[in-house]
Amino acid sequence: MSIPFPRAAALAAALLPYLAVATPLSFDTALQLAVQRSETARAARAGVLSATEASRAAAQFPDPTLRIGIDNLPATGPDRFHTTRDSMTMKRIGISQEWLSADKRAARQAAADASVDREAVQARVAAADARLQAALAYLDAFYAGETLKLSTLMEHHAHEELEASRARLSSAVGNSQDVLALAGARGISEDETAEVRQQQNTARVAFERWVGVPPDELMPPGVIPLPTEQSYIASHPTVAAMQRDVDMARRAADVTASNRKPNWTWEVAYGQRTGYSDMVSVGVSIPLPVAPGERQDRDTASKLALVEKAEADLAEATRVAIAEYRSLYGDAQRLQQRIDRYGSGVVVPAGQRTAAATAAYQSNQGSLVVLFEARHAEVEARRKLLTLQRDLAKARIQLALRPLTAEVAQ
């Protein structure tokens, strides 16, 4: 798949600082890269361009029609098919123009403008979705890296304590049960590290799919302010898109309703005769709506029903957005409470336990197994705290980036 040169150049310029040196990638830069390389966003922008070009022709008059013919050409007799022998034969050239009223042209222009607005919203939706998906992938990759650091630390501790236990055994101070227990613990730690590394690799692949940059080092994501419920709903992608659907349906109904008044067609023709005066003809064609109640009115009723359908879809989408906001906001609040409670009630005591076990071991009053268990419990506590922090960050990111914010390209 080829990328147009201007887009490729812009993307290369954005990536250059991160390809030249191992610079940590920031959260905001990752979102910008995701929007720049999103093919869905590019397709949506092309849709905006298409609708814009079409709107420029919406209010134009139809092209005039050139009419050329021969009237009263003899078909039998000695003058058959001769254009200059019979006085009634006339060569004619004319032009006709269908006339649209100002109201009809305004209605068509309004419908075209509504289509442009809808495509513009779809472009913003595509950009917002690219930002959101990149942000979620960023969080997964970042917290997978932080979790790997803890697992690697635990593996290092297990290796150190196993070697210390073997040294104590060789000096007849330790016992074989401690050595066997720590050997098994080291194996478990190595497997846990391998599992986390596998999870990190999956997260890195997902992240690179959005930004095109291997996440060698990611900066901690900052705190993004959360929108209010009202602004979240008003800027929700589905709600915004369906609001434009309602506008388009209304404009289409206006265009259909204007068709109840037929378009007149004006015609002017010039006729040339041999040996006689030339003639000019002027005429107007007026369609006769003989049954508007069975045709035009029914077409209008059909479009008005689509307006009602679009309004019902918008109302349902608004309800979904309200429930979505309240669910995510409630999750964020509860996760923050759990983090505060877990930090003070689990992580802090686990650290104190490790400190006590270390002091006991250094004073020959505790075993290496007890020290390892304390360290392992502290690492597990910190790993769960990271999981809670990741879930909180995801909830906040969805609240902040799902709506069509000002940062999303117009």
Mean pLDDT value of segment 156-181: 62
DSSP percent split of the chain into helix, strand, coil, nearest 5? 70, 10, 25
Q: Which residues contact 305 (CB under 8 A, 6 or more apart)?
A: none
**CA quadruple 32, 385, 347, 362: dihedral sign:** negative
Taking only the tens place, the pLDDT of each residue in 91-131 is: 999 999 999 999 999 999 999 999 999 999 999 999 999 99
What whole-number percentage of the chain has pLDDT above 90? Answer: 58
- Concatenated DSSP letters of 212-261: SS--SSBPPP-PPPPPPHHHHHHT-HHHHHHHHHHHHHHHHHHHHHHTTS
Instruction: Enter the pTM of the model.
Output: 0.81
Alpha carbons 206 and 136: distance in angstroms, whole number = 10
Residues contacting 265, CB < 8 A, separation 6+:
96, 97, 98, 99, 284, 285, 286
Question: What band does 18 get if pLDDT is binned at 50, 70 and 90?
Answer: very low
Task: Label residues 100-122 b or e (16+ Cβ within 10 Å = b).
Answer: beeebebbbbbbbbbbbbbbbbb
Q: Is 38 helix (H, G, I), strand (E, B) or coil?
A: coil
The predicted model gives 284-301 an average pLDDT of 90
The secondary structure of residue 70, as a DSSP letter, is E
> Residue 239 pLDDT more than 60?
yes
The model's pLDDT over 30-68, given as tens digits with 9 standing for 90+, comes to 999 999 999 999 999 999 999 999 999 888 889 999 999
Full set of structural domains in the chain with CATH: 28-62+101-260+293-401 (1.20.1600.10)
What's the pLDDT at 20?
43
| Mean pLDDT value across the chain | 86
Tell me if residue 81 falls in helix, strand or coil: coil
